[in-house]
Structures are given as structure tokens and as C-alpha cells.
Structure 1
Amino acid sequence: MKVRTMRASDWVAVARIYEEGIATGMATFESSVPSWEDWDMAHMRSCRFVVENDDTVLAWAALTPVSSRCVYAGVAEVSVYAAANARGKGLGKLLLKALISASEKEGIWTLQAGIFPNNVASLKLHRDMGFRLIGKRERIGKLHGIWHDNCILERRSDIIGID
């Protein structure tokens, strides 16, 4: 297995994995996969990775800027998704390592993640990778007509933005 930069040609596999995550009902408030063009515009181009094995994309991760305001230029939101048949195999950890390294090269000082409280595996992964729980937003959004909470975690860089 190897981690590499995501290419536009990976979109079919990335979208399929994203759709599997949406179907769980505990990965995102999104209800459908956006077009490549919309997804591409929303995510940082320098911080997109996939894990592949034998030319098959098994997982992906990317960063989204949290704001266009200059004061938040060093803050990005993490997305990490693994194919249903590849979950629990350490791919998220590989991807988060790559994202952390790439984000620091891009001057990102804070990574944040919004995770549903029932997504225990994702909460554990992020904590294991140095994220800390900073709070829980109660009934922040509806998914299929049901209100859901969202845990907010962040990881502050040890090398960027420390002065």
C-alpha cells in the first residue's frame, strides 16, 4: 500500500468511497457526492492524498480551508474516508500523517475535524494522531430529518504558528 497525491483521474474511486461514507449516516451531513468540479474548487490542491494498493484506491483524505478571511489562512478542515472493505486497516493513520506533513509545509497551523459522536473509530483515529476535543456542537445540523451533534477536534502544529 502506498500514499500518493490524489489525481483528477482518481475521482471515480474517490466519489465511490465518499458515497459509501455518506451511506453510513455517520460520516458527514452531505447527502450526495458533489461533482468533481465543485469538490475540486472546495478543497486545497496541495493537501489531497489517496492510499492505493495494486492500482486500487482504498481511501482518501483532503483539506478544506475553513474561511476565506486572512486571519484563518492557517486553519483547515480534515476529511478522511476509507472504502467499506478497507476500514480498520490503518489507512486513516497513513493519510493523516501525510496531511499533517503537507499542511505544515503549506503553513497550516491548525487542523480541525467535525465528527459525529457515534463515529467512535474516527474519534479514536484523530485523538491518536494528536487531535484534542475542543467541544461538541449540539443539534448543529439535520440529517434525514434528525438533528445531530458534532464533536469538534483540533490539532495545533508544533512547528507552524508557534511564535
Structure 2
Amino acid sequence: MTEQPTDALRDQDFLRLDGQICFALNAASRAFGGLYRVVLKDLGLTYPQYLVMLVLWEHGEMPVKELGNHLRLDSGTLSPLLKRLEAAGLISRERSAEDERSVHVGLTPDGAALRARAVEVPRRIAAATGFKLAEIRDLQARLNRLTTALDAAALEA
């Protein structure tokens, strides 16, 4: 006959580091960051810069505010990224003629051309996970559901 754990023991288990989903996600994020650093080195991009380029390759020119919405970044975080990408000759930034408060971001020819070399990045990352494509898609779906739930919980708090 096995004993049932007491509430105190269950509470103690809840406070174990290896039992924290936030720690597991943070550790995975840091591991991804390390791998992306290596994989993106040949492209001359950091991971955040790569994310900016992904949005522009997918959607084309857009206002900085819209770019920030796609990336879940505020303008204070995004502006330094854009300055570095502009200095590297990959993007251009121009004030809107209709609304001077709005800045539009677009790809330069070099930025557009970089896309062809970047195609291998997701393949290399996926291969490094050891997951099958279906497992990766399932994990993405679950993480998206988690993000939606956490965003909703934060609004309610």
C-alpha cells in the first residue's frame, strides 16, 4: 500500500526548479539563441535582426508600428535593431509623406537578396531539434495556445 503525499510535499514539488514550465521554456529559448547565433553568423544577423527580416520578407514594406506588432516588440526595442539593419544596408526607413510620425521600413535590394541564403536557417534549426516536422508543428501550435492563454491571463490580472 502506497502512502498519498501530503499537501506540504505536493507544495514542495511545485517549487522545484525542474518542475517550472517557465524555466523549461527559458532554457529552451536560451538553447535556441545559442544555436541561432551560430547558424546566423554567416548571414551577419543576430536573432532579433533575423526576426525583423522574416517579417519583411513575408509582408514587405510596413510602418514600424505594424512591424513591432508582428514581433511583439515596442519601438524602443525595435529602433536600435532597425538602425543596425539600415547601417548594414539591408533595410531602408522613410518617414511617411502623409503622417510624419509614421516611419515605413522596407527591404533594400541586398536585404531582399539575403532571403535566398536564409532559406537554409529553418532547415538547420529543425534538424538540430531531432524532431519530425509533425512534432515541430504540434509544439508550435501548443506554444501558440500557451501564449494566447498567458496573454489573456495577464489582461485579467
Query: Shorter chain as normaliser: what TM range?
Result: under 0.3
Q: Say which structure, 1 or 2, has more relative contact order (CA 8 Å, 6+ apart).
A: 1
Decide which structure has the larger Cα Rg and report it.
Answer: 2
TM-score (norm. length: structure 1) = 0.25
**Structure with greater strand percent:** 1
Between Structure 1 and Structure 2, the one with more helix by share is 2
State TM-score, norm by structure 2.
0.26
